[in-house]
Amino acid sequence: MISSAAAKQRSWRFPWKRLLWLALGALLVWLLWFWPARRNYYFKRAQVHSRLDIPYVAGSADPKRQLDLYLPPGATLGFPIVVFVHGGYWNSAIDRRWLEPLLGTHGNVGVAFARRGIAAAILGYRQYPGVQRGDDSLDDIATAIRFVRASCAAWGCGPLFVVGHSAGGHLASLMAMDDRILRRNGVEPEQVAGFVSIDGIFNLDAALAAFTPEQAGIMRKLFGPDQATLALHSTISYARAQHPRLLFLDSTDDEKVCRDAFQELKARMKNAGSPAQFTELPGLGHNETVVRIGMDDDPVMPSLLAFIRP
């Protein structure tokens, strides 16, 4: 027979256990509600057509040389297409599906564009240490642009734009300003309707001081080793008045090295008489800029759409 004291003790235990489970359940619901990939990707991808793992180098099974294609359903033929170049400090640890189950990246970018009648090709490209030269990454991207351009007749797309984030923003803007990269890969610069750099770095030599010794070593390996070679791979070295259409986006809470690069390039391009557009996005951090693309409160897409469809 249970004593009254024991029964009283057990009656006190039960409510606390139940409250704990309720709290854990509430936390799970909260996490699911704010789960980025739910908000920017998984609950929206059924609204578009997707084709994954398309090789852009004939016969290549290397996932770093493949792309994921997102197409708008029911769009009028001739819709724009965006070639998107992801970031990741030029390092192979980050790819076109980096943390996609958690953050939605970078499928969220493809879905966001396709939902608005714009196709998107989310690229993989070879990075360090898979390649030892930054030019190999640039050539992969240019090769992918050539492939996408050649495939547009079958896909139904029209004008082609290149958009890059972070390290991808550096590569996209460099490709815009140094047209030798496109030409050596069989692409005429006028075949690209415009370039967008989001949170990029544009002066590699100046950026070295902001990185760890290991990071600086990778940059020198890829784009150096000396100051002159770093300058050849720096967008700011090509500042001038005549160039393809260009949009530079930077978040106000971005990393300082990117903020400094944005302001330095803006001043240099203005002095050169450039018509390039420079837009600041208030209150966003470096990775938040790309994660927020496709969310209902997406602050990035309006600037992209205004550029692509002026």
209 phi and psi angles, rounded to 5 deg: -65, -20
pTM above 0.85, yes or no: yes
Q: How many domains does the chain have?
A: 1
Task: Give me the pLDDT at residue 31, please.
Answer: 44
DSSP of 258-306? HHHHHHHHHHHHHHTT---EEEEEEEEEHHHHHHTTTSTT-SSHHHHHH
Helix pair 134-155, 167-177: axis angle to 10 deg? 80
Task: Give me the pLDDT at residue 35, please.
Answer: 85
CATH, residue 92: 3.40.50.1820
Task: Give me the pLDDT at residue 29, please.
Answer: 44
Task: Give me the pLDDT at residue 101, please.
Answer: 93
Please report whether residue 16 resides in a domain.
no
Please state the three-class secondary structure of the chain as a single string: CCCHHHHHHHHHHHHHHHHHHHHHHHHHHHHHHHCHHHHHHHCCHHHCEEEEEEECCCCCCCHHHEEEEEECCCCCCCEEEEEEECCCCCECCCCCCCCHHHHCCCHHHHHHHHCCCCEEEEECCCCECCCCCHHHHHHHHHHHHHHHHHHHHHHCEEEEEEEEECHHHHHHHHHHHCCHHHHCCCCCHHHCCEEEEECCCCCHHHHHHHCCHHHHHHHHHHHCCCHHHHHHCCHHHHCCCCCCCEEEEEEEECCHHHHHHHHHHHHHHHHCCCCCEEEEEEEEEHHHHHHCCCCCCCCCHHHHHHHHCC
Task: Give me the pLDDT at residue 32, please.
Answer: 46
Return d(Cα 261, Cα 256) in angstroms, integer.
8
Please report whether residue 161 resides in a domain.
yes
Return d(Cα 54, Cα 71) in angstroms, integer.
13
Return d(Cα 108, Cα 52) in angstroms, integer.
14
Please report whether residue 27 resides in a domain.
no
Task: Give me the pLDDT at residue 15, please.
Answer: 65
Structural domain containing residue 213:
35-308
Q: What does R_g of the chain's alpha carbons equal in angstroms?
A: 23
Task: Give me the pLDDT at residue 17, please.
Answer: 64
Task: Give me the pLDDT at residue 59, please.
Answer: 84
Closest to 301 (Cα-Cα) out of 86, 39, 112: 112
Name the percent of the chain lying above pLDDT 70: 89
Query: Which tens digits make up the pLDDT trace of 207-233?
Result: 999 999 999 999 999 999 999 999 999
Task: Give me the pLDDT at residue 75, please.
Answer: 85
Please report whether residue 19 resides in a domain.
no
Q: What is the pLDDT along the chain (310 residues), one digit of tens a residue?
A: 445 555 455 544 556 666 565 555 544 444 444 689 999 999 999 999 999 999 999 988 999 999 999 999 988 899 999 999 999 999 998 999 999 999 999 999 999 999 999 999 999 999 999 999 999 999 999 999 999 999 999 999 999 999 999 999 999 999 999 999 999 999 999 999 999 999 999 999 999 999 999 999 999 999 999 999 999 999 999 999 999 999 999 999 999 999 999 999 999 999 999 999 999 999 999 999 999 999 999 999 999 999 999 7
